[in-house]
Amino acid sequence: MVSTTPTIAYGKHTDLQIAALGETGFKSDPVKRFDDFEKSGRLAGLHGVVALRGGRIVFERYFDGNDMTWGRPLGNVRFGPDTLHDIRSVTKSIVGLLYGIALEEGRVPALDEPIIEQFPEYSDLASDPQRRRLTIRHALTMTLAMEWNENAPYTDAANSEIAMEQAQDRYRFILDRPILAEPGRGWIYSGGAVALLGKIIEQGTDQSLPEFASEKLFSPLGIDTIEWIRGQDGKASAASGLRMAPRSLARIGQMILDGGRSDGRSVVPKSWLDQSFQPAAMVDIGWPGMHYGYLWYVGEEAITDRTGTYGERFIAAIGNGGQRLFVFPRFDFVLAIATGNYDSPDQWRAPAALLYEVFLPSLTAT
């Protein structure tokens, strides 16, 4: 039912530099705090963590553990800097970057264009005036207001993403969902919305999603190896199919900190990043203090230091099992996390402990 693309290699690039001892930029050392949490079992399921400060690796750890890829057991894996890992729905955020690249090149429709017009093969659906109101922007912000349920486990056909993967025609399945409300006024998390965007990118670029991503995003960032899982219909999963190492994920975070640039060249237009990280969906997404931009979460964390308490803006990509990418622009800080707690109700615990109890206190200690 599931196949993967061959591992894609891109050529030689200088690796991320590891900061010298004493030059990490931390106000207090996170190592002891991390070790205490790890010994206590509060980081159960953690496979890898990479932290960057000022573009350099300031913390990196890996652990052996059981893993899987899209529900297929891999057994016990010895993780290291080059070991690939499912990033699940962090894939969505990367597709958001790809749409911005393709838009800048004039290869995909503008954001207020109707989605249904990009799928002329479904003329019967296009005759519905309600569906003609659904735009690219609605897909990017998860505000299509179409029926979609990803609350069930990702092993259950009651989960809409799984049902999409099992459908004879995934795009008709998505576009034919009932419309529940006024588009743009309610937030419904939807892998289907991202699948539509992935298809539009493929149509506009005349490349597969992995090919376009390799040429325009991964290779320019020096990301040497990835995999992109394909469904039973051979389509690369835009919703959750990417596998990459935490170092590679951290590179994407660093590119964001650098305004979309890497090695002196523009990779993602800065104007697109600026748009992507604004709270475009001014609706309740079920997470206090968090909003949603263009397939990225944006939030503000209350930080207290000797100057007082203030709001610290951050950007996040989040995936099932505890996959995380956090970017804190003012701290010049990136945190990439890979864990194996897929579908667990406690999957948030290890990433939350790492962010809030290990690294943020090290950045803000008085």
| Complete DSSP assignment for 41-105 | TTTTTEEEEEEEETTEEEEEEE--EEEEETTEEEEEE---TT--EE-TTHHHHHHHHHHHHHHHT
Kind plus residue range of the DSSP H or E element containing 166? helix 160-166
- Identify any residues that bridge with 314 across adjacent strands, giving them in sequence order: 299
Which amino acid, 104?
Answer: E
Which residue range is the domain that position 265 belongs to?
3-83+246-364
Return the amino acid letter for 206. Answer: D
Question: For every one of its 366 residues, what pLDDT tens digit does the chain have, with 9 covering 90 and above?
Answer: 333 433 333 233 346 777 665 667 888 889 999 999 999 999 999 999 999 999 999 999 999 999 999 999 999 999 999 999 999 999 999 999 999 999 999 999 999 999 999 999 999 999 999 999 999 999 999 999 999 999 988 888 899 999 999 999 999 999 999 999 999 988 999 999 999 999 999 999 999 999 999 999 999 999 999 999 999 999 999 999 999 999 999 999 999 999 999 999 999 999 999 999 999 877 778 787 889 999 999 998 877 677 766 678 999 999 999 999 999 999 999 999 999 999 999 999 999 999 999 999 999 865
Determine the 3-state secondary structure of 140 from DSSP.
Answer: helix
Contact, 185 vs 145, CB < 8 A? yes
Instruction: Kindly give the interhelix angle for 90-104 and 246-257, rounded to the nearest 10 degrees.
Output: 50
pLDDT of residue 9: 32
φ/ψ of 161, rounded to 5, equals -65, -40
Looking at the structure of the chain, the number of domains it has is 1
Surface-to-core class of residue 206, CB atoms within 10 Å of its CB (0-12 exposed, 13-18 middle, 19+ buried): exposed
Contact 134, 183 (CB under 8 A): yes
Residue 289, judged by CB atoms within 10 A of its CB (0-12, 13-18, 19+), counts as: exposed
Q: Indicate which CATH number applies to the domain containing 311.
A: 3.40.710.10
Q: Specify if 8 maps to a domain.
A: yes
Q: How far is CA 201 from CA 26, 33, 168, in A?
A: 40, 44, 21
Give the C-alpha distances (Å, rounded to integers) separating 304 from 310, 332, 359, 364: 7, 18, 14, 7
> What distance in Å separates the CA atoms of residue 32 and residue 45, rounded to the nearest whole number?
19
* Contact (CB, 8 A) for 303 and 360: yes
Residue 250 belongs to a domain: yes
The pLDDT of residue 13 is 37
pLDDT at residue 365 in the model: 66
Residue 210 in domain: no
CA–CA gap between residue 297 and residue 342 (Å, rounded):
20
Q: Does 142 fall in a domain?
A: no
Residue 20's pLDDT is 62
Which candidate, 175, 165, 158, places its Cα nearest to that of 233?
165
Q: Is residue 309 part of a domain?
A: yes
Q: Is 276 helix (H, G, I), strand (E, B) or coil?
A: helix
Asked, for residue 109, whether it belongs to a domain, the answer is: no
**Quick check: is 229 in a domain?**
no
Residue 42 lies in a domain: yes
